[in-house]
Amino acid sequence: MVNIVLAAYTVLLFVLFFYSLHAFVLIFYYYKFRNHRAGPVKKLIRHPRVTVQLPIYNEKYVVHRLLKSVVELDYPKHRIEIQVLDDSDDETSDILARLVAEYRSRRINIRHIRRGSRAGYKAGALQHGLKYAAGEYIAIFDADFVPKPNFLKELLPEFNSPDVAGVQSRWSHLNHDASLLTRAQAIGLDNHFAMEQRLRHLAGFFINFNGTCGIWRGDAIADAGGWHGDTLAEDLDLSYRVQLRGWKIKFRDDYAVLGELPDSAEGFKIQQNRWAKGTIQVARKLLPQVLTARTGKIAKYEAFVHLTCHMNFVALLGLALLSPVIVYFKIENIVANGYFVFASLFTVGAFGYPYLYFLSQRELYTDYWRRIPFIFSVIAYSMGLSVSNSVAVVEGWLNRKIVFRRTPKSGGEAGGYRPDTKSIIPFMEILLGIYMFLALVYVVVNVQLILIPFLLFYSFGFLSLGLMSLKGKVLALEPQEVLCSRESS
C-alpha cells in the first residue's frame, strides 16, 4: 500500500511540475519582450458597418448598464446596429423589451431578437444573430461589461491587414476591491491578459478571443464554419479554428474594458467550472489538429498547455488527498528520507506562477505593491477550486451532456445570488478543509514547519469556498478607493 501511495503521489508531482514549467516559459518571453511597447494608436480612416451583439440570458441586474454603454458608443449611427440576443426565461425579457423600445424611439438602430429556445446556448444565439447581421465586423459584449465610447474607434484600425480575424481587448474590473475573493480573481485575470495573452500574441502562438470585449471580422467567422455549440468554450473553439485556417487574432494589452467579477463563491465556481469543462472539450475536439498543424514545436507545446491546463486541478485534488498521508509517512519514518529529498525538488515549480502574478501587477498598476499580498489568496482559491474543477475536467473529457450555467451577476444590488443548497460539492470542500487543517495541526505539533504554508493554503481555500458557497456571501474587505492603473481603464 505504501508503494502505491508513493507512486500515485509521484505521478501527481510530475503532472503539476509539467504545467508549472509553463510559467517559466512565459517568464522567459516576458524578459525577451519586456522592452516592446505598442506603437502609436492608429486612426480610423473609414467607418465600416459594425454589428454589436449582446448575448443575454437572465441578466436583469446588469442589462440597463450594458445597453446604456453600448448605445453611447462613439460611432456614426448609420454605420452601427445593435442586436440584443435575448434567450432569457425570466423578467429580463420584459426589461429588455422596454429598454429597446425606448432606445428605438431615440432613433437608435437596436433590435430585440428572441429565438424561442436556448439551442447551442451562447454560440447558438450568436450564430442566430449573424443571420440578420449587416455589419462587416461583429463586436461582442457580455452583460457584465461596460465598454467605453471609443471602443470601436480604438480597435477597428487593427484590422488594417486582411488576415486579421479578430481583435481582443484586455479586461479590467469594476469591483476588484469588493472582497478577498474578487481581489484574487482580479489578479488571476490580470495575469491571464497582461502575461499569457500578451506574450502569446508577441511570440506568435495561438491566442484566444475571450468571449467578450472584442471584434471579429464577419468573413473570418464564416470561413471557420461559424459558431459551434458543441463545447462550453465557444470563444476558444472558434479562435483555434480560425487560426488553424491561417487567420490571425490581435491582442490589445493597452486597452481595457471594465467588467464585473463574480461576487459570490458559487458564482465564481460556476464560471471557473464552465471555463474548465469548455477548455477540455475544445482540447478533445481540436488538439489533434493543433498538434499536426504547420507551426513550430514551441507553439504546439504552448497550445497543448493552453488547452489542457485544467488538468492541474485534478493533480491538486490528488495532492490534497495524499499529502497528509505522505506527511504521516515522513514523520513516522515509514519511508526513507531520500524520497522526500527527491519530492522536494519539485517545489521549484511552485514559484513560477506567483512571480508571474507579481509581474502582471507591476506592469498594470502604479501602486502594485498594495496588491502583492493578495497573490496568496489566488493560490489558496486555486487549491480550493480543485474539487469542483476536477468534476468539470472529467465531464469535459467524457464529453458529458453540455449544460450552460450562467455566472450570476448582481450589478452591485443585493439579492443577485442565491446559494445552491442541493450541491454536495461545498460539503466535500468543507470536509477536505477540515482534513487539511488537522494535517496542519499535526505538522505544527511535530515541528515540520516547511509544510505549514502548503497545508494552510489548502485548508483556507477549501473551507472558505465551501462555507461561502453555503452562505452565498464573500469575505468582505473595508471600502477603499478604486486603485489607479497606469492607463485609464
Cα Rg, the chain, nearest whole Å: 23
Annotated active-site residue 90? The verdict is no
| Calpha distance 103→111 (Å, rounded) | 10
pLDDT digits (tens, 9 = 90+) for 314-336: 999 999 999 999 999 999 999 98
Question: Where along the chain do the CATH 3.90.550.10 domains lie?
Answer: 49-263
Q: Which 8-state DSSP code applies to residue 485?
A: B
pLDDT at 449: 82
Burial of 164 (0-12, 13-18, 19+ CB in 10 A): middle
Annotated active-site residue 235? The verdict is yes
pLDDT digits (tens, 9 = 90+) for 2-49: 999 999 999 999 999 999 999 999 999 999 998 887 777 778 889 999
pLDDT at 401: 65
Q: Compute how many other C-beta atoms are within 10 angstroms of the C-beta atom of residue 173.
A: 22
pTM of the predicted protein model: 0.91
Q: Specify the residue for cell string 457584465.
A: 144
Stretch (H or E) spanning 344: helix 337-344
* Collapsed DSSP state (helix, strand, coil) of residue 137: strand
Hey, what amino acid is at 172?
A: S
β-pair type (164-173, 137-140): unpaired
pLDDT at 472: 65
pLDDT digits (tens, 9 = 90+) for 463-487: 999 999 988 644 444 433 333 344 4
Residue among 144, 177, 190, 235 flagged as catalytic: 235
pLDDT at 487: 42
User: Could you report the average pLDDT of every consecutive run of 10 residues in the chain (489 residues)?
Assistant: 93 96 96 83 88 96 96 97 96 96 96 93 96 97 96 96 97 95 97 97 96 98 97 97 97 96 92 96 97 94 97 96 93 91 89 96 95 96 96 90 71 54 87 96 89 93 94 48 39
- CATH label, 49-263, candidates 3.40.50.11900, 3.40.50.10490, 3.90.1150.10, 3.90.550.10: 3.90.550.10
Find out whether 287 and 231 touch, Cβ atoms under 8 Å. Answer: no
